[in-house]
């Protein structure tokens, strides 16, 4: 009798030793909600294990508690499941690039130790649950590329450790919360591609550590608040197509002349690199300080009501892409643009530029796109343009240019050429010699797009 009792106790003890701990049970419960689970997860998540610490995507602390769950990119389908609440030691949850659906479970707010929560690139719908206000240790919250609705909760900007809020590409509505400035530690704020409305709250100027601010493609209105110029650490500002007006803010451009040797000083490391403000209603000119931003790489100011001549931009030596089309800039195209040796695309179309095309543009050896159309340019095409061996698209249409196009006849990289309202003269032989190098050419008052493999040049001239 005593022997049987001893064996029973030993069996119970052995079972207790081998039984899966509560975190493992919680993970298996989550798995049962999912409608598709790839084989590597199914084969790895084994109920006979004592802990989930060796399972795919799971890491544990010294006490065998799951504190890290990364299932990114496994094409998992189905709802997340309320059992997530039982993973009380979780610090990082990364479920990006899957097919999770349904709502963010309110029970997620019980994971009070969470620091990094990333649910981006799924099909999650509904609103951001109020229970997430309990995640007081949250540093990063990313739900980009989902189908979230409702307003941005104000409590997100009351989290003291918050550094990254990425809400891009959802269906969020309403205003940007007026307490956004409470997030004084925030570094990245992505609110682009939603349906946000109203004005940018002045309190945003309190986010003095902000490095990246994306507000593109919303339904905002009004001017930039003056406080935005307090954001001296901004590297990336993008407000394309957001309904904004007023003048271009200085942001961190007032520090753009700081020598490289001083940029190691705390607070001076970051300088403006991308300024994207296309398709708004901005007025005035380009601030002179922006012309001193040696770190600026992309400048998109197209589709606004900007005026005046271009300021001195010679210091922007790292500029790779510049689009200031569809504005009211006037005067001559500055010859100093030829100093932008890293430039790959230059778009100055639909302005009021006059004078000749500066021959200095021939110094832009990396240029593959040049659009000077719809201005008041005169004179001939500089022969230096024909030396741009990387150039693939050239649009000089709707100007008052004259002269020869023979300067381009040795240009083997061009695939698109636009000559609308260009008074050129050259023999048909010279034009025909260019034929093998173009995908299409536009010669007249209308678009004549011709695939060179299916139409002859003789047929083109008969059109």
The predicted structure's pLDDT at residue 438: 46
The residue count of the chain comes to: 463
H helices of 174-328, in order, are: none
Taking the model in full, what pTM does it have?
0.86
Contact (Cβ atoms closer than 8 angstroms) between residue 39 and residue 63: no
Sign of dihedral through CA atoms 168, 88, 77, 96?
Answer: positive
Beta bridge partners of 309: none
Q: How far apart are CA 131 and CA 109, in angstroms?
A: 5
Nearest Cα to 224, choosing from 321, 151, 312, 304? 304
Beta bridge partners of 299: 275, 322
Helix (H) or strand (E) holding 6: helix 2-18
The predicted structure's pLDDT at residue 372: 95
The predicted structure's pLDDT at residue 18: 59
Nearest Cα to 333, choosing from 399, 421, 409? 399
CATH topology for the 20-149 domain: 3.80.10
Helix (H) or strand (E) holding 3: helix 2-18
- For the chain, give every domain's residue range: 20-149, 192-319, 330-437
Contact (Cβ atoms closer than 8 angstroms) between residue 457 and residue 440: no
Region of 356 please: left (phi>0), alpha (psi -120 to 50) or beta: beta
Q: How far apart are CA 68 and CA 92, in angstroms?
A: 5
Question: Buried b / exposed e across 417-450, counting CB within 10 Å, b at 16+?
Answer: bbbbebebebeeeebebbeebbeebbbeeeeeeb
3-class DSSP state of 134: helix
Q: pLDDT digit of tens for each residue in the chain (463 aa)?
A: 444 334 334 333 333 445 999 999 999 999 999 999 999 999 999 999 999 999 999 999 999 999 999 999 999 999 999 999 999 999 999 999 999 999 999 999 999 999 999 999 999 999 999 999 999 999 999 999 999 999 999 999 999 999 999 999 999 999 999 999 999 999 999 999 999 999 999 999 999 999 999 999 999 999 989 998 898 899 999 999 999 999 998 765 545 544 443 344 344 456 889 999 999 999 999 988 888 888 999 999 999 999 999 988 888 889 999 999 999 999 999 999 999 999 999 999 999 999 999 999 999 999 999 999 999 999 988 989 888 889 988 898 899 888 766 556 555 566 666 655 444 444 344 444 444 444 444 444 333 333 333 433 334 334 4
The predicted structure's pLDDT at residue 410: 59
Q: In what order do the strands lie in the sheet with 173-175?
A: 173-175, 195-198, 219-220
Contact (Cβ atoms closer than 8 angstroms) between residue 333 and residue 357: yes
DSSP string, 325-344: -SSEEEEEPPGGGGG-TT--
Q: Do domains 20-149 and 330-437 have the same CATH topology?
A: yes
Q: How far apart are CA 85 and CA 110, in angstroms?
A: 5
Nearest Cα to 234, choosing from 286, 201, 272? 272
Sign of dihedral through CA atoms 260, 265, 268, 273?
Answer: positive
> Does the 192-319 domain belong in CATH 3.80.10.10?
yes
Helix (H) or strand (E) holding 210: none
CB atoms within 10 A of CB 460: 17
Phi and psi dihedrals of 108, rounded to 5? -60, -25
* Architecture of the CATH domain 330-437: Alpha-Beta Horseshoe (3.80)
């Amino acid at each position: 009798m005593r022997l049987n009792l001893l064996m029973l106790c030993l069996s119970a003890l052995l079972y207790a030793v081998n039984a899966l701990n509560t975190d493992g049970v919680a993970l298996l419960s989550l798995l049962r909600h999912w409608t598709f689970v790839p084989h590597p997860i199914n084969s790895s998540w084994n109920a006979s294990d004592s802990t989930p610490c060796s399972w795919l995507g799971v890491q544990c602390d010294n006490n065998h508690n799951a504190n890290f769950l990364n299932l990114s990119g496994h094409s998992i389908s189905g709802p997340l499941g309320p059992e997530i609440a039982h993973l009380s030691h979780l610090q990082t949850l990364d479920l990006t690039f899957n097919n999770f659906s349904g709502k963010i479970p309110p029970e997620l707010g019980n994971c009070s130790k969470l620091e990094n929560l990333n649910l981006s690139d799924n099909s999650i719908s509904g609103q951001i649950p109020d229970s997430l206000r309990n995640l007081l240790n949250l540093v990063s919250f990313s739900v980009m590329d989902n189908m979230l609705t409702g307003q941005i909760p104000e409590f997100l900007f009351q989290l003291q450790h918050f550094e990254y809020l990425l809400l891009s590409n959802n269906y969020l509505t309403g205003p940007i919360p007026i307490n956004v400035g409470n997030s004084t530690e925030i570094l990245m704020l992505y609110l682009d591609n939603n349906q946000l409305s109203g004005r940018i709250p002045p309190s945003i100027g309190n986010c003095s550590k902000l490095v990246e601010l994306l507000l593109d493609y919303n339904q905002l209105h009004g001017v930039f608040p003056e406080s935005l110029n307090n954001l001296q650490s901004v590297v990336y500002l993008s407000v394309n197509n957001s309904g904004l007006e007023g003048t271009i803010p200085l942001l961190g451009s007032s520090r753009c002349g700081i020598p490289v040797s001083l940029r190691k000083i705390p607070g001076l490391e970051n300088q403006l690199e991308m300024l994207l403000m296309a398709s708004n209603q901005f007025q005035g000119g380009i601030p002179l300080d922006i012309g001193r931003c040696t770190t600026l790489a992309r400048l998109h100011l197209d589709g606004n009501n900007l005026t005046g001549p271009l300021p001195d931009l010679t210091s922007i030596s790292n500029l790779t892409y510049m689009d200031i089309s569809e504005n009211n800039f006037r005067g001559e195209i500055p010859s100093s643009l030829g100093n932008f040796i890293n430039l790959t695309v230059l778009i100055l179309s639909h302005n009021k530029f006059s004078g000749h095309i500066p021959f200095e543009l021939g110094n832009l050896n990396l240029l593959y796109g040049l659009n000077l159309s719809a201005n008041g340019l005169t004179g001939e095409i500089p022969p230096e343009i024909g030396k741009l061996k990387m150039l693939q698209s050239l649009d000089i249409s709707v100007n008052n240019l004259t002269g020869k196009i023979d300067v381009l006849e040795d240009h083997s990289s061009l695939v698109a050429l636009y000559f609308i309202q260009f008074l050129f003269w050259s023999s048909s032989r010279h034009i025909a010699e260019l034929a093998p190098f173009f995908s299409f050419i536009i010669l007249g008052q209308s678009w004549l797009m011709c695939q060179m493999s299916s139409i002859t040049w003789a047929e083109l001239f008969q059109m």
